[in-house]
Amino acid sequence: MADVELAKHPLLQRPLQIFNLPAEIVDTLSIRTSALSPPREPTPPPAEDQRETSTSFACNVCLGATFVDVQEQREHFKSDWHRYNVKLRMSSKSAVTEEDFNGIVDELNDSLSGSASSDESDASSSASVSQLMKKQSLSRPTSDTEDYRPIAKTPVIWFQSSAVPVTQFGIYNAVFESSLTPPDYVEAVKEMQDGGEEGRLWTLFATAGGHFAGMVVRVKRPNFVEEEETGKGKKKKQKPKPDEMEVVYHKTFHRYTTRRKQGGSQSLNDEAKGKAKSAGAQLRRYGEQALRDDIRALMTEWSEEIDASERIFIRASTSNKRIFWGYDNNVIEKGDPRIRTFPFPTRRPTLSELQRCLQELTRVKISHLTDEALKALDDAYLASLPKPKVAPVQAPAPAPKPAAPKLTKEEEAERDRWRRVIDMIRKGRLEPLKAFWEREETTMGGVNALIPEWAEDNRGLKTLLQVACSAGQEEVVRWLLEEQHADPTIAIPSGVSVTNAKEDESDDESRPTALAGNRRTAYDLAPSRGVRNVFRRLAYSQPEAWDWLGDARVPSALSPEMEAAKEGKKAVRRKALKDRLQAREKEREEERKRQEEEERVRLAREREEEARRRAAEPALARTGPNKLGGANAPKQDGLAGLTPEMRARIERERRARAAEARLRG
């Protein structure tokens, strides 16, 4: 009932158009900013020493502003300092003191010196504040008392008017400028009521499926229309009729561009599936070209009206939009701020459809929602907004690495020598290593020189012998110990891990012995028995050279007799293993022959049984019924009706009997 009563309001008796709104509504119109916008955070209370006391007056916005009486406080509210702080507070920025404000104004005056004349002194106050706001990049409303909040990007902007209570007025956002702020929407609606001297023009284009419709409309006539007075030849100005829109131009045409029930233009189909060669495809391509030429020719004909249009509404697919721009002497530029799309679904492009779209764009939407219903809508919208994501805690930036010191040529050459010798040892390149060492031994400090810490690939090892043992290069280890007399007693650094390769369980004598403490030597790095035996042989042949069994951690010496004995034991084990393998092979061969003999005996027994069975059968049963063809019919040898497996088995038996007969003969 309430909606029916509101619909009977005198101002709502006729449909409202955005260009012909009643003056009562326009004068009291305001944008509904409480909807579709999240609540603002409350303004923090002023400091304790800045609050108003019982004996003085103060400003809650400006810092340190106190007054003797109300009149002085009111004068402060009109000052530039207060207005500037209000705008800062509305932009969620901190207020400034009077001294800071005066300094900002002085800087602004210095930059604008000489630009204002003496006649403009009365407007210097507001101009200074405006310039300051531009300098601070604060785009806020000009009102001092009204706090506007941003509205959501929705197709319809809602207004309200005190002239019509409990009523909301909706206007499509597409009819406004794209860069408007909330207070500017109200001013834009007021400007729409003014037709000016030429009126307001809109252009509407729509194309789809080969259909095109275009229209230029004067949505708002000029404020006055000159007409000649009959009989006197004079002209008088008359006001235009309200709600009257004039169609300046309109045009519709159609071309065959789309196959029936297929959808999509022929050009898109050619790009997706290749160029078709049918007659229909040729006609559709011609239709597309003709449609494009017709539209562009029409736009050239209407170019003056299109240039004068405030809005250009275009309904077209992404590919069809290239018809309207992107060619030589185009009328509409791509990215023109006047271009809009229809903010609602449209049907086939026809003149009547464009007229319906125009009515939909210019008609004011009216709803009658109470404060409770509006609050419920606001709460539902705010609940649908995504919650702000918590900013991830950024890890502290890593400390910059110190710049590598620049090396001299001598230092670079030294590092290159160490890299080369370590690489040759690890790869077991003994001959190149000998030649290199013969040339660079003195320069590198001898075979027992400690490897520098900066050397690459040393893995914490201290000597060349330790590197060779870790790499498992037996020949290099022998060369270092026998010819170069490398020291095997140098301990390994405590941080180096010792991971020996798989060891022979029977070679207990070559394993490193466990000594007190964690002291290890090159022998502990040997991954194979061959490398360890190099140490043990030298411990026997050169017992006085080093403390092999002590500091070098070699468990025992290895003499030639011990090696010969071990080799003899290995030969015995190998011979025993070979004999066992031969015996096993002989057993398998005998088993195979036994199975073959059993199979031969079984087959012979089966043949004898088959022969006795045939001998016992009557003659008629053996011969069977007469065959077609008489005695000259081909013989099947009794194989008719047998499976292929049985036939193959019988054939094998026959061949075996024939072979036995040949052997006996």
Could you tell me which of 480, 455, 457 has the C-alpha nearest to residue 469?
480
65 in Cβ contact with 59 (< 8 Å): yes
The whole-number pLDDT of residue 39 equals 40
466 in Cβ contact with 525 (< 8 Å): yes
d(CA 169, CA 98): 43
Asked whether residue 342 carries a pLDDT value surpassing 90, the answer given is: yes
d(CA 49, CA 52): 9
195 in Cβ contact with 223 (< 8 Å): yes
210 in Cβ contact with 350 (< 8 Å): no
15 in Cβ contact with 167 (< 8 Å): no
Asked whether residue 19 carries a pLDDT value surpassing 60, the answer given is: yes
Ranges 49-63, 473-487, 568-582, 592-606: which has the least confidence: 49-63
d(CA 118, CA 487): 100
Catalytic residue status for 73? no
The whole-number pLDDT of residue 356 equals 95
b/e burial code for range 230-242 (CB count within 10 A of at least 16 → b): eeeeeeeeeebee
Asked whether residue 192 carries a pLDDT value surpassing 90, the answer given is: no
Q: Binning pLDDT at 50, 70 and 90, where does residue 298 land? A: very high
Q: 381 or 239: which carries more pLDDT confidence? A: 381
Could you tell me which of 203, 207, 209, 386 has the C-alpha nearest to residue 306?
203
Q: 257 or 259: which carries more pLDDT confidence? A: 257
Q: 472 or 66: which carries more pLDDT confidence? A: 472
Mean pLDDT of the chain: 78
Place of tokens 């002590």: 550
Helix axes 124-135, 80-90, angle to 10 degrees: 30
The whole-number pLDDT of residue 616 equals 77
Could you tell me which of 482, 457, 477 has the C-alpha nearest to residue 525?
477
> What percentage of the chain reaches a pLDDT higher than 70?
74
pLDDT in tens, 362-410: 999 988 888 888 788 777 877 777 777 666 766 777 878 777 778 888 8
503 in Cβ contact with 524 (< 8 Å): no
Stretch (H or E) spanning 426: helix 409-427
Q: What is the DSSP letter of 244?
A: -
Q: What is the mean pLDDT of residues 559-573?
A: 85
Q: Binning pLDDT at 50, 70 and 90, where does residue 532 land? A: very high
290 in Cβ contact with 255 (< 8 Å): yes
Place of tokens 């918590």: 390
Q: 229 or 294: which carries more pLDDT confidence? A: 294
Asked whether residue 55 carries a pLDDT value surpassing 50, the answer given is: no
488 in Cβ contact with 522 (< 8 Å): yes
C-alpha separations of 74 from 66, 69, 123, 146 in Å? 12, 9, 20, 18
d(CA 158, CA 31): 6
Asked whether residue 42 carries a pLDDT value surpassing 80, the answer given is: no
Q: What is the DSSP letter of 194?
A: -
pLDDT in tens, 170-182: 999 999 988 787 7
Widest CA span in the chain: 154
368 in Cβ contact with 166 (< 8 Å): yes
461 in Cβ contact with 492 (< 8 Å): yes
d(CA 546, CA 558): 15
Find how far residue 113's CA is from the centre of its chain.
Answer: 52
d(CA 434, CA 428): 11
Q: Binning pLDDT at 50, 70 and 90, where does residue 14 land? A: confident
Asked whether residue 103 carries a pLDDT value surpassing 80, the answer given is: no
The whole-number pLDDT of residue 517 equals 52
Ranges 53-62, 96-105, 150-159, 401-410: which has the least confidence: 53-62
Find how far residue 56's CA is from the centre of its chain.
Answer: 62
Q: 617 or 192: which carries more pLDDT confidence? A: 192
Q: Binning pLDDT at 50, 70 and 90, where does residue 37 land? A: very low
HEC-encoded secondary structure of 553-577: CCCCCCCHHHHHHHHHHHHHHHHHH
Q: Which residues pair with 107 in a beta bridge?
A: none
Torsion of CA 401, 406, 410, 413, to 10 degrees: 50
How buried is residue 517: exposed, middle or buried, by Cβ count under 10 Å (0-12/13-18/19+)? exposed
Task: Give the type of residue at 36.
Answer: L
Q: 2 or 553: which carries more pLDDT confidence? A: 553
The whole-number pLDDT of residue 93 equals 75
Q: Binning pLDDT at 50, 70 and 90, where does residue 204 land? A: very high
Q: What is the mean pLDDT of residues 224-243?
A: 53
421 in Cβ contact with 464 (< 8 Å): yes
The whole-number pLDDT of residue 6 equals 60
Q: 566 or 116: which carries more pLDDT confidence? A: 566
Asked whether residue 320 carries a pLDDT value surpassing 80, the answer given is: yes
Q: What is the mean pLDDT of residues 118-140?
A: 51
Asked whether residue 650 carries a pLDDT value surpassing 50, the answer given is: yes
Stretch (H or E) spanning 607: helix 560-616
141 in Cβ contact with 181 (< 8 Å): yes
d(CA 658, CA 639): 18
What lies within 8 Å, CB to CB, of 357 at 6+ separation is 204, 206, 313, 342, 344, 346
Q: What is the mean pLDDT of residues 527-541?
A: 90
Ranges 100-109, 123-132, 287-296: which has the least confidence: 123-132
Place of tokens 């009102």: 143
The whole-number pLDDT of residue 625 equals 55
The whole-number pLDDT of residue 218 equals 92
What lies within 8 Å, CB to CB, of 493 at 6+ separation is 460, 461, 462
Full-model pTM: 0.44
The whole-number pLDDT of residue 243 equals 55
Q: 12 or 593: which carries more pLDDT confidence? A: 593
Q: Binning pLDDT at 50, 70 and 90, where does residue 614 land? A: confident
Rg (CA), the chain: 53
C-alpha separations of 300 from 34, 90, 305, 330, 332 in Å? 46, 48, 10, 8, 10
Token pair recorded at residue 593: 């022959």
What lies within 8 Å, CB to CB, of 124 at 6+ separation is 116
C-alpha separations of 290 from 28, 299, 320, 450 in Å? 52, 14, 13, 88
Could you tell me which of 407, 495, 513 has the C-alpha nearest to residue 458?
495
For the domain made up of 194-226+239-363, the CATH class stated in words is alpha beta
How buried is residue 47: exposed, middle or buried, by Cβ count under 10 Å (0-12/13-18/19+)? exposed
Could you tell me the residue ranges of all domains in the chain?
2-113+123-161, 194-226+239-363, 409-558
d(CA 181, CA 143): 13
Asked whether residue 110 carries a pLDDT value surpassing 60, the answer given is: no
How many Cα atoms occupy the beta-carbon half-sphere of 146 within 13 Å? 13
525 in Cβ contact with 553 (< 8 Å): no
Among residues 73, 160, 266, 473, which one is catalytic?
A: 266
